[in-house]
Structure 1
Amino acid sequence: MQVPAILVLEDGRVFHGRSFGARGETFGEIVFNTGMTGYQETLTDPSYHRQIVAMTAPHIGNTGVNDDDPESGRIWVAGYVVREPARIPSNWRAQRTLEEELVRQGVVGVAMPGTRALTRHLRDRGAMRAAISTEETDPERLRERVLASPRMSGADLADEVTTEEPYTLHPPEGVPTRFRVAAIDLGIKAMTPQRLAERGCEVTVLPAGTGAEEILATEPDGVFFSNGPGDPAAMDGPVAVMREILDTGTPLFGICFGNQILGRALELGTYKLRFGHRGVNQPVRDVHTGRVHITSQNHGFAVDAPTDGPFDTPYGRAEVSHIGLNDDVVEGLRLLDRPAFSVQYHPEAAAGPHDAAELFDAFCDLMSIQHAQPAKS
């Protein structure tokens, strides 16, 4: 049975609704997601660790929940905000309702009529700390606790979401093994190594704290750095590891957090976006071809890089390869003198779109070229 619930933002804005999911209290940075599909993939994306996610699509839960679509082994969002939950799911793949899954995993949520007003507020004021509670009835007392909760800026969260032990994905039956890839799990989505395996890659997924020597001991043809939560400015360890990989000339590919880590490895800065990019409808332009991809994104930080042409780095020349059309944010980096590139968005894109899936082919092409010539030192 649903009970009253309140959502309190750190600037004092209060929203009232009914509980959706587990009862209790939760704290985190509140952000909004503009996707009209893929709510199960959103909930299980480790990049949402310690965030309360508000969905802008008005109906959530229509297709229920299944055991095939999660992007990880659990729900990672700190809390969930929806306008109108589906009363009865309708899909042949559904195994239980979304609310049943939220209750099962202890995720506190709220269903409320003001999600549009909330989204407009966050666009104007920016992402901020918040809390959902079915227990505290005094908004000001709850706000005091919100103000005492940790900020996302400066947060190093990769170790909280990474795999505890390495594991390996092999190409599916009938697909020959062409390459060995070492994937650094900073909060990896399950579909990413699967997309690589489909292309003939044997993918060894390694914990976030794995050192360069251990990575190279797997004798990879390429190294991949995944998406993940937190502030890239706090990730000195992975940045140092990536620099060691770049020194070897091993082909390198980064997605989302991996793009920000590459930026820092190239001695570029990063900064926090006002409200971030989260959804499956983000337009990105390839600087060289002019082609526009509609992309899936989930990030609150970005790389600060020159967009007017190639620039110098400790690893030779580099360039911004992709730019977001909504706000001109850097959406990709490419080294011109070494086999390394990254994008800020998600080409694996479950539940879609799939415009950028060819980037996995580009990574395989880099590894193919590297087989034919000595690596640069």
Structure 2
Amino acid sequence: MSSFCRFGGMLLAMLAAGQGSAAAEGGAAAQLGPRPFYLVDSMKPGPLQDRLRQCGADRAYTTRNFSISHRGAPLQFPEHTREGVLAAARMGAGIIECDVAFTKDRQLVCRHAQCDLHTTTDILARPDLAAKCSQPFSPADPATGRKASAKCCTSDLTVAEFKSLNGKMDAFDPNAVTVEAYMNATPRWRTDLYATTGTLMTHKEYIALVKSLGRRFTPELKAPEVPMPFQGSYTQDRYAQQVIDEYKEAGVPAADVYPQSFQLRDVLYWIAREPEFGRQAVFLDERDDTEAGFDNMRPETWTPSMAELAGRGVRILAPALSMLVTVGEGGRIVPSAYALEAKKAGLGLIAWSLERSGPLKAGGGYYYRTIRPVVDRDGDMLALLDVLHRDVGVIGVFSDWPATTTFYANCVGAE
């Protein structure tokens, strides 16, 4: 085992310490279904496939914190719904995510973006609520090339109105000329089989559900898409504080919560104002998309540096899968400079998001862009996962279908 793997294990154990924490890793049975074994069968032949094949469908699989639910289980269930959370828990996710947005009456709800209701719910099919959207539905116009559009935000609705919506698979058709066609756009590699009932959740309801399941929490503070302060007094800091306050009110130990944000200011706020929660706050790093010239193989392009982040109290980074790996000699997947520098600075790493790219036969898209030359089949996601665990030393991986990460964690003994 690499020194970074040992470091990752020690960090996870340290962060999870404390009385009253959630059920111990490996304590609850997991139901995997056929997908992880299908992925093993589709791997390139070799020692890794042979090792994973030894983990048969007839063995007992248990919940692992290495397996982090990304928005529930959105490969098949509408994201951020009660049904998706239950599916993720049954598949052995030890940590379950809620992206946190706020409503018109400043209540916190689970939604990937503040303004995604037009693609993730049935709001456009509800004329009374669609009329409240920031931007109503506008059909595509083939004559001018104009695309269909809409913008419906959690902050357009009260929490009661939000709760009356039904979650659907996140999708839209930009070429649609009707609301029905705009909404009916689920990718072929997902399914609408479970989209007839998508129960939306407030943040408090998510806390109660995940607590009842004995799992841990990772709330993500979403960047507001409305001017802040909202309604003149609701500041970004009040928003960040409200998230933590709802865990305190529910009696959830800080050791069970991994608050996260793409905005470094939020992470630093928690570190300064809520140190028990801030000590395992996660900085979601998308600088490869947002910072001009950023290169995961060139440390001089990173601002702030790994050492500077650690010096400011950040302990965990969570970048996209692609930021952590590159192609090395002989076509091997190897850790990127970004991953190696994080190790040197003593930072833990969490990666996102497995099972989000659809079939990998065309190279896997965004999440596999740094290793695209060696990706040509679905089983390659397990090859990547193995490098992330053994060579990069990640302490967890977000997945849209947690059965896969649960399977792998059980096979290799990851916590």
Give the TM-score normalised by the residue count of structure 1.
Answer: 0.32
Name the structure with the higher strand share: 1
Give the TM-score normalised by the residue count of structure 2.
Answer: 0.30
Name the structure with the higher helix share: 2
- Higher relative contact order (Cα pairs below 8 Å, separated by 6+ residues): 2
